[in-house]
Amino acid sequence: MTTAVIAATGLFTPEHSISNEELVAAYNAFAERFNEQHAAGIAAGDLEALTPSSVEFIEKASGIKSRFVIDKAGVLDPTRMVPNIPERSNDELSVLAEMAVKAAQDAIAAWGKPVSEIGAVLCAASNMQRPYPAMAIEVQQALGIDGFAFDMNVACSSATFGIKTAADFIASGSVKAVLMVNPEICSAHLNFRDRDSHFIFGDVATAVIVEASDQAGPGGWDVLGTRLKTVMSNNIRNNFGFLNKAALPTGEVESVPANGLTDKMFVQQGRKVFKDVVPMVSDMIVDHAADLGLDPAALKRLWLHQANINMNQFIGRKVLGREPSPDENVIILDDYANTSSAGSIIAFHLHQDGLAPGDTGLICSFGAGYSAGTVFVRKR
């Protein structure tokens, strides 16, 4: 059986960034205006007054300090608080595909081989901008790749599920190399009018080239084992879709209640998610390591899903059996925020230095579904 190698990775980061200070100022201006406009209803008990946000609240709850976004002005406009992303014609490269192509080009340049050697393209992401044609096929065409392409969505775990799928294609002999892209415009699905979640997400795109070991050049990472898990839960949910469309909150504050679109955008029960997901993922990592004959305490680096610093720190302690150093448990939340499926790949892409051939590490993601994926790798 042919084994798989992660041969190269790529990253596209939008040019616009929003600090916590900027985000809090925009939200608080919206909340103050909302409370003034609905003072009578609040006094009568028909509505709840909106509580101000703060930088301290955000950083304690998440560890996030800033986030990159496709559109900054729309998010920070207190009368809008949604990114303004102009619609493109069907003849133009779509926004999501454009991001994916840029990340893919970064990975392909690092790989140093022609795209003619890639046999499949997977677009694995949470926030697809349309049902069909598949984003992956658009990316495939833009890059001039033959073979086949398709989309897959397992929320924040999409990238690890994508790596597993790519490795299985290689093991079966279907293809010799797979391009897997993770374009995420999370800001379009985030309710910036909700104090409890307005700070969580950012936008980004990542790419991974998975290649057969018998044709891989020097460097890269041997994929030692992959494992996936799903358990149904409504504690993280987004109901927006073509069967239950709702107008996005692009109007004035007066016309759109603060919670009027709650179930059509990202919602979560954070405490329940923490309680359910942290032990599930920690046990999954330890069990998978044991089945591969690996000592989890000997892992040199953890590239975990970047959802919440408290979750990552807890999982790191459980897996390593001690307090991890910043070099061992990589955190990129402070700059990128939660970027859904792309988070663990950003961490992996940016923080591979300092490891020697033979060192082992873990790429792991977890999120809505619930879903979780583990990919153990060894530096070649």
pTM for the model stands at 0.94
> pLDDT band for position 254 (50/70/90)?
very low
pLDDT tens digit sequence for 6-29: 999 999 999 999 999 999 999 999
Residues with Cβ within 8 Å of 316's Cβ and at least 6 positions away in sequence, in order, are 302, 304, 323, 324, 328, 329
pLDDT score, position 260:
52
- Tens digits of per-residue pLDDT, 157-174? 999 999 999 999 999 999
pLDDT of residue 247: 52
**What is the average pLDDT value for the chain, to the nearest integer?**
94
- Amino acid 259: pLDDT: 47
Q: Which two tokens stand for residue 193?
A: 């009018």
The answer to whether residue 274 scores a pLDDT higher than 80 is yes
Cα separation, 254 vs 34, in Å, equals 8
Q: What is the pLDDT of residue 241?
A: 77
Q: What is the DSSP code (8-state) at residue 9?
A: E
Q: In terms of C-beta density within 10 A (0-12 exposed, 13-18 middle, 19 or more buried), how is residue 110 classed? A: middle
DSSP state of 251: S
Tokens 């003619």 sit at which residue?
A: 116
CATH architecture of 223-379: 3-Layer(aba) Sandwich (3.40)
Sketch the domain layout of the chain as residue ranges.
223-379
**What band does 256 get if pLDDT is binned at 50, 70 and 90?**
very low
Dist CA 254 CA 261 (whole Å): 14
Q: How many alpha carbons fall within 13 Å on the CB side of residue 163?
A: 35
pLDDT for the residue numbered 261 = 58
Instruction: List the catalytic residues.
Output: 156
Distance separating alpha carbons of residues 278 and 24, to the nearest angstrom: 28
Strand-pairing partners, residue 183, are 205
Q: In one letter, which amino acid is 378?
A: R
